């Protein structure tokens, strides 16, 4: 049973803080993804990774960076949090690019004050 | 960015009604089409991954069809139940980019 876990369900941070969101999957998936979900905008891809140490920008990478040092872990970093980064963040993983379903974590609701 | 359209945006049906919604996507460079169900306070869960033109998939009361030549997929729910209330997302895969999710159709089933 695939499991994707995220480090926090709820997080409150202050403007300018550095924020780390961690995602871990236990099914040896090559592909991992970070999305944010905002009302009326759907799921938008921030960054993705098809392999360890590999990262690619998604549709909205500005203000974010990522790290993938191990296959099972994909971290999203907000270098200097801003109020417009208040959102729901979802991590996902999959086996084969595009041909296999993505498995999603429970999400992190981040509030930046 | 791939243009993915889902219609309607939202839908309210009575328990027992059957319903369907549409996902439209570019028909060029098509590799696969995903459907996900996203219930409130939960994570999106995959319903189907479809790859072949004319493909039809079924899971219980939910089924989906795919037309890759004209670039659309239909999701059908037969005899809607309150537990079917969710947002249904589609996401095409074109091979050169990751999945692009539509904004979804929000279904509310009224008991």
A98: nearest CB among B42, B93, B101: B93
So what's the pLDDT on residue B97? 83
**How many helices and strands, by DSSP H and E, does chain B display?**
0, 10
Q: State mean pLDDT over B83-88.
A: 97
* Residues B40-84: tens digit of each pLDDT: 989 999 999 999 999 999 999 999 999 999 999 999 999 999 999
Judged by CB atoms closer than 8 Å, whether chains meet at A97 and B89 is answered as no
Chain A residues in contact with B42 by the CB 8 A cut-off are 106
Among B32, B42, B104, whose Cβ lies nearest the Cβ of A42? B104
- Position B96 pLDDT exceeds 80: no
The reply to whether B33 touches chain A by the CB within 8 Å rule is no
Q: Which of B88, B35, B37, B43 is nearest to A107 (CA)?
A: B43
The Cα–Cα gap between A31 and A104 comes to 12
A39 touching chain B per CB within 8 A: no
Q: Is B93 on the interface with A (CB under 8 A)?
A: yes
pLDDT higher than threshold 80 for residue B1:
no
10 Å Cβ neighbour count for B26? Answer: 13
CA B1 to chain CA centroid, nearest Å: 19
Instruction: Share the mean pLDDT of chain B.
Output: 94
Distance from CA of B104 to the nearest CA of A (A): 7
Cβ–Cβ pairs < 8 A, chains A and B: 54
Residue A98: predicted pLDDT: 79
Is the pLDDT score of A33 beyond 90? yes
């Amino acid at each position: 049973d695939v499991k994707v876990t995220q480090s926090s369900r709820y997080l409150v941070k202050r403007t300018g803080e550095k924020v780390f969101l961690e995602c871990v999957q236990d099914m040896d998936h090559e592909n991992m993804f970070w999305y944010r979900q905002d009302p009326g905008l759907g799921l938008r891809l921030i960054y993705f990774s098809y392999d360890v140490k590999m990262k690619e920008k998604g549709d909205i990478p500005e203000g974010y960076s990522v790290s993938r040092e191990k296959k099972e872990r994909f971290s999203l970093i907000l270098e200097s949090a801003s109020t417009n980064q208040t959102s729901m963040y979802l991590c996902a993983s999959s086996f084969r690019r595009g041909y296999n379903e993505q498995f999603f974590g429970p999400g992190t609701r981040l509030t930046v004050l | 960015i791939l243009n993915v359209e889902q219609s309607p945006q939202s839908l309210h049906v009575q328990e027992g009604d059957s319903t369907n919604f549409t996902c439209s996507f570019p028909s060029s460079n098509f590799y696969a089409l995903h459907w996900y169900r996203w219930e409130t306070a939960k994570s999106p869960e995959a319903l189907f991954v479809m790859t072949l033109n004319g493909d039809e998939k079924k899971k219980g009361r939910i089924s989906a069809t795919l037309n890759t030549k004209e670039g659309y997929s239909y999701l059908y729910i037969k005899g809607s139940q309150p537990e079917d209330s969710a947002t249904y997302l589609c996401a095409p895969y074109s091979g050169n980019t990751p999945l692009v999710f539509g904004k979804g159709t929000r279904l509310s089933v009224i008991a």
